[in-house]
């Protein structure tokens, strides 16, 4: 009962006014919605690909026509090489390529020239373009060698290119919704960042109770230390649950965004992460003694943990030593759990992930219950 009273008071102090509702409920929903809107609209837009075809023969034109068949590419002929490079460097184009002069003659001679490929950074579209160019050259080279071996290269080369472009055998790509959505990682990372913001607020309320001697009076009353820590824990958990629920419901049903995983398991994973976050808040609240230290809390605790946990980039691209450290922050476990759900796994496959998140919560809540109690010198003052 005592824990419920403390939890209700903390909830009222957090979202009991318009400022709290705006900061912890509306702003996170708008931020995640903006990320989904921006990345979702870019996802279906063809990648801009400028090119230069300096080949005097028909092979270069054949390659351009083949690439133009891909709906993911928007090919456009560049004015010159400098204009092509500028488009790529400024981000107006994803990548570009140049078919060199004499390309057809080199193919006919059995030693095709390399096609120059330009990109500012590796991306899915630029990598796909590079592979498509390589495969196009390989197909033409192999067909040319077969014609040469048959002794009909001179008379059948043009016919071979024409027959290749007919694509009598075609492919159809069907998306069954398997695998991770492009916006899933970043939208989940932003959601986690706002959940972590509750740590700073919860700690500020705990410090306010210390400054006003409210904490000291609670411990002087016939209330157990665990009940006080649990009350602070439950209050923050209630606010965080409301934040997560509104985020998921709004983005799923109002915006129509498909995360690629069921609502129930998604909510359960995020709630398990919230439990671990509240454990962190309880532990940090007992360690921080002055209000001046709260401003440094985000730069010292929240943001480094989010960066290390892969909220903004995959953990796999970090150095091996950093990947090992990532296992010690709950963010890495929730990010991996959400991606596994999107890949088709069920809750039974996430026993380890949920167990680790709950272990974070249990250990840190217990630690916070011990150190949250005011020291003797605080009580004397």
Least confident piece of the model among 43-47, 245-249, 373-377: 373-377
CATH number at residue 82: 3.40.190
- The verdict on 255 and 153 lying in the same domain is no
Residue 262 lies in a domain: yes
- The verdict on 65 and 192 lying in the same domain is no
The values of phi and psi at residue 320, to 5°, are -60, -40
Residue 125 lies in a domain: yes
Q: Residue 298: pLDDT above 60?
A: no
> pLDDT grade, residue 246 (50/70/90)?
confident
- The verdict on 135 and 92 lying in the same domain is yes
Q: Cβ of 341: how many Cβ atoms within 10 Å?
A: 24
- The verdict on 350 and 220 lying in the same domain is yes
Name residue, tokens 């009580």.
379
The number of CA neighbours under 13 Å toward the Cβ of 264 is 2
- The verdict on 31 and 150 lying in the same domain is no
Contact 381, 301 (CB under 8 A): no
Alpha helix positions (H), 16-48: 18-21, 27-43
The values of phi and psi at residue 181, to 5°, are -70, 150
Residue 172 lies in a domain: no
Q: Cβ of 154: how many Cβ atoms within 10 Å?
A: 10
pLDDT of residue 275: 82
Report the percent of the chain where pLDDT is more than 70: 70
pLDDT of residue 370: 67
For residue 162, the enclosing domain spans 46-166
Q: Where are the beta strands (DSSP E) in 115-176?
A: 116-119
- The verdict on 8 and 25 lying in the same domain is yes
Show the tokens assigned to 113.
Answer: 């020239």
- The verdict on 203 and 281 lying in the same domain is yes
> pLDDT grade, residue 227 (50/70/90)?
low
The average confidence (pLDDT) of the chain is 76
- The verdict on 242 and 142 lying in the same domain is no
Q: Residue 21: pLDDT above 80?
A: no
Residue 331 lies in a domain: yes
> pLDDT grade, residue 287 (50/70/90)?
low
- The verdict on 144 and 236 lying in the same domain is no
Residue 241 lies in a domain: yes
Between 224 and 147, whose confidence is greater? Answer: 147
Least confident piece of the model among 22-26, 104-108, 130-134: 22-26
Residue 176 lies in a domain: no
> pLDDT grade, residue 176 (50/70/90)?
very low
- The verdict on 112 and 248 lying in the same domain is no
Show the tokens assigned to 340.
Answer: 């596994």
Please measure the distance between the N-terminal and C-terminal CA atoms of the chain and give it in whole angstroms.
Answer: 29
- The verdict on 162 and 69 lying in the same domain is yes
Average pLDDT over residues 221-243: 70
pLDDT of residue 178: 41
Q: How many domains does the chain have?
A: 2
Q: Residue 331: pLDDT above 80?
A: yes
pLDDT of residue 26: 74
Give me the numbers of helices (H) and strands (E) for the chain, helices first please.
18, 4
């Amino acid at each position: 009962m005592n824990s419920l009273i403390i939890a209700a008071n903390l909830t009222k102090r957090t979202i009991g006014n318009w400022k709290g509702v705006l900061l912890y409920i509306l702003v996170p929903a708008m931020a995640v919605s903006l990320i989904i809107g921006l990345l979702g609209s870019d996802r279906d837009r063809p990648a801009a690909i400028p090119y230069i075809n300096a080949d005097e023969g028909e092979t270069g034109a054949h390659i351009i026509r083949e690439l133009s068949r891909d709906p993911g590419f928007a090919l456009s002929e560049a004015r010159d090489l400098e204009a092509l490079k500028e488009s790529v460097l400024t981000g107006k184009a994803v990548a570009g390529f140049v078919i060199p002069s004499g390309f057809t003659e080199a193919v006919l001679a059995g030693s095709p020239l390399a096609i120059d490929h330009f990109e500012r950074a590796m991306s899915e579209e630029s990598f796909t373009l590079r592979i498509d160019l390589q495969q196009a050259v390989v197909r033409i080279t192999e067909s040319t060698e077969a014609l040469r071996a048959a002794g009909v290269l001179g008379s059948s080369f043009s016919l071979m290119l024409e027959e290749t472009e007919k694509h009598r055998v075609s492919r159809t790509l069907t998306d069954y919704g398997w695998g991770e959505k492009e916006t899933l990682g970043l939208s989940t990372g932003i959601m986690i960042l706002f959940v972590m913001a509750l740590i700073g607020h919860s700690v500020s309320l705990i410090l306010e109770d210390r400054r006003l001697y409210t904490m000291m009076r609670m411990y002087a009353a016939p209330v157990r230390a665990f009940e006080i820590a649990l009350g602070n824990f439950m209050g923050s958990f209630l606010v965080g649950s409301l934040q997560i629920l509104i985020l998921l419901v709004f983005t799923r049903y109002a915006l129509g965004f498909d995360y690629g995983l069921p609502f129930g398991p998604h909510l359960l994973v995020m709630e398990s992460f919230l439990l671990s976050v509240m454990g962190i808040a309880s532990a940090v609240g007992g360690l921080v003694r002055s209000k001046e230290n709260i401003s440094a809390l985000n730069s010292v605790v929240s943001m480094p943990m989010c960066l290390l946990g892969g909220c903004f980039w995959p953990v796999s691209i970090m150095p091996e030593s950093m990947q090992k450290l990532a296992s010690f922050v709950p963010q890495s476990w929730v990010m991996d759990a959400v991606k596994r759900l999107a890949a088709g796994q069920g809750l039974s496959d996430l026993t380890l992930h949920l167990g680790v998140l709950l272990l974070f919560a249990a250990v840190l809540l217990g630690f916070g219950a011990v150190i949250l109690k005011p020291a003797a010198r605080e009580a004397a003052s």
